[in-house]
Chain A
Amino acid sequence: MNKVFAIVRYEYKMQLGRISTWGILLAVSAIALLDNFPSTRNLARLEFLVQPAYFVYRTMCLDVLIISFGLLFLLSGRIPADNKTGCKALFMAAPISRSQYIWGKLFGGFTYTLTVISIFLILNTGIYAVFTPIEADAGAYLTPLIKTLIIGGIPVSFFISFLAVTLPAMMDIRLFYLLTAVLFFLNAGSVGSAEAQPFYLVTSGDLIKLIWQHPRFPFTNIWSIAANLTFLTGCGLLSCVLLIMKRKFWRAE
């Protein structure tokens, strides 16, 4: 178990230390604030922006989608890079097993993604709390934020990190980018609705409706929420199982 933690620690520290991580975080924060900053014009444009829960919900739906797409690129080269630089041969020479290596990479990617998404949501909610003209207690901000991190942040981080780490190790990275581009295109093109949404939406699926709902159109379709959650966690687990089962991936054991 110590070996898995060692890989997780290395992956986490190395990824968080990259300038590109902070570059993308700041760039997407700027985009998010342009859209959601509680200015007079934005408050007039967006009916529910006065509610902190709506702000967090909107940031999760639209802006976390952008940051997830960016993180996907940063995470996708982790295993192919080890192949290219010869690090994989070094790992193989060490007394670690295939599963320890894979779990280390996966949990390293997961903690990194969750950290970036958490920092992004906390930073934006903090700025919103400081500049909003509406008076509310700390609980009004903290409750939706914690709910979003648990309900949305964890499954989305799981999906993004597991897919981005495992699939490029099994297929050409350009094909992986193309496939994810199609998925994100479908996500970006989807229009929010009070009806059940397609299960394949990453950040704007029905699962996120547990954070905030339109007061006039309450959403009660439990099956649709379950389908969205199953898609996010199922795809992550499936990709991981496929890599563990791939015999050619590691030395003959």
Chain B
Amino acid sequence: MKRLLFEQKIIGNNLTWISIAFVGVLTLLAFLCGGLLNLSCIGFEVMAPFFAAIAVGECGRTRADANFDIIASQGRSLFSWVLLRFTTVFLTVGIFTFIGMVIVLFIRNEMPLGEMVLLYIAPAFLLSTLCTLCGFCFAQEHLATMICGIIWIVTMLTGSLLRYTGPGYVYLFIRYAGDPNGVWLINKVILSGLSLVLWAVIYLLCGKRVALNRR
């Protein structure tokens, strides 16, 4: 917990303010956008996961951090540092997104809170994990966010692929795309599983990096 608070201190207040602004925009949209728009779906399955990825890519930097080499060679565990930084940012954004969900639920009542959480958590976890992995592999700033951004926009533009059965199982925004095959729950489980695989890759890369630094 103490280390979590330290990380929070390093990240600073800007993330909190931007998260508050994000919740504010969601609240405004909940009041203003008409009945044709399913805000719970668009807001929490499409927009919020990308916001989480931006936050992890820009606030939870690892390789782009100036102190990366020192931590890699002298820190107790590189993986726990990466995981802790990720958790701090992901939790901060997650808390504010949850507040947004409660507000949207009270104003619009489009779907149960649990369903909104399920819609959000799998794509957000996958995109943020991918951002962490890219942030660990490339030292250039903003590159991790760019890769996730490209994947995010390409996914949106390739919604027509759902006419086939296969892509529906791994499509990031299945409910936003209409879920033609009714596989959204399986899709979310697969996406979460993929995120865990990516975390295993990060763990292996951390081990390799530490071994390289100590040689």
Residue positions of B touching A, CB distance < 8 A: 14-15, 17-18, 21-22, 46-47, 50-51, 54-55, 58-59, 140-143, 145-146, 149-150, 152-154, 156-157
Q: Is the CB of A62 within 8 A of B58?
A: no
Q: Is the CB of B14 within 8 A of A69?
A: no
A18 and B143 alpha carbons, distance in the complex (Å): 11
Q: Is the CB of A74 within 8 A of B146?
A: yes
Main secondary structure of the interface of A (DSSP, over half): helix
Q: Is the CB of A73 within 8 A of B149?
A: yes
Of B22, B55, B143, B153, the residue contacting A65 (CB under 8 A) is B153
A113 to chain B, nearest CB (A): 14
Extra contacts, 5 of them, besides A70-B146, A76-B142, A178-B22 (Cβ < 8 A), are: A65-B153, A66-B157, A73-B149, A173-B142, A174-B54
Q: Is the CB of A178 within 8 A of B51?
A: yes
Q: Is the CB of A172 within 8 A of B18?
A: yes
Q: Is the CB of B149 within 8 A of A185?
A: no
A145 and B46 alpha carbons, distance in the complex (Å): 34
Q: Is the CB of B142 within 8 A of A31?
A: no
- Confirm or deny: A242 has a beta carbon within 8 angstroms of a beta carbon on chain B: no
- Confirm or deny: A24 has a beta carbon within 8 angstroms of a beta carbon on chain B: yes
A28 and B150 alpha carbons, distance in the complex (Å): 9
- Confirm or deny: A77 has a beta carbon within 8 angstroms of a beta carbon on chain B: yes
Residues of A within 8 A of B140 (CB): 18, 20
A189 to chain B, nearest CB (A): 7
Once A66-B153, A69-B153, A174-B15 are accepted as A-B contacts, the answer to whether A77 and B142 lie under 8 Å apart by CB is: yes
What is the chain A residue whose CB lies nearest that of B156?
A188
Residues of A within 8 A of B46 (CB): 185
Residue positions of A touching B, CB distance < 8 A: 18, 20, 24, 27-28, 31, 62, 65-66, 69-70, 73-74, 76-77, 81, 172-175, 177-178, 181-182, 184-185, 188-189
B144 to chain A, nearest CB (A): 10
Once A185-B156, A188-B153 are accepted as A-B contacts, the answer to whether A178 and B146 lie under 8 Å apart by CB is: no
| Residue from B18, B51, B150 with most neighbouring chain A CB atoms (10 Å) | B150
Q: Is the CB of A66 within 8 A of B154?
A: yes
What is the chain A residue whose CB lies nearest that of B46?
A185
A70 and B145 alpha carbons, distance in the complex (Å): 9
Q: Is the CB of B50 within 8 A of A181?
A: yes
Once A172-B18, A174-B18, A181-B47 are accepted as A-B contacts, the answer to whether A24 and B150 lie under 8 Å apart by CB is: yes
A24 and B50 alpha carbons, distance in the complex (Å): 19
Residues of A within 8 A of B154 (CB): 31, 66
| Residue from A76, A77, A174 with most neighbouring chain B CB atoms (10 Å) | A174
A74 and B22 alpha carbons, distance in the complex (Å): 23
Once A174-B18, A174-B58 are accepted as A-B contacts, the answer to whether A184 and B153 lie under 8 Å apart by CB is: yes
A214 to chain B, nearest CB (A): 18
A182 and B29 alpha carbons, distance in the complex (Å): 12
Q: Is the CB of B157 within 8 A of A62?
A: yes
Residues of B within 8 A of A189 (CB): 156
Of A24, A173, A185, the residue contacting B146 (CB under 8 A) is A24
B93 to chain A, nearest CB (A): 10
B100 to chain A, nearest CB (A): 13
Q: Is the CB of B146 within 8 A of A81?
A: no
B23 to chain A, nearest CB (A): 12
Residues of B within 8 A of A172 (CB): 14, 17-18
Of B15, B51, B146, the residue contacting A73 (CB under 8 A) is B146
B59 to chain A, nearest CB (A): 7
A83 to chain B, nearest CB (A): 12
Residues of A within 8 A of B17 (CB): 172
B62 to chain A, nearest CB (A): 17
Residues of B within 8 A of A24 (CB): 146, 150
Residues of B within 8 A of A70 (CB): 146, 149-150
Q: Is the CB of A73 within 8 A of B145?
A: yes
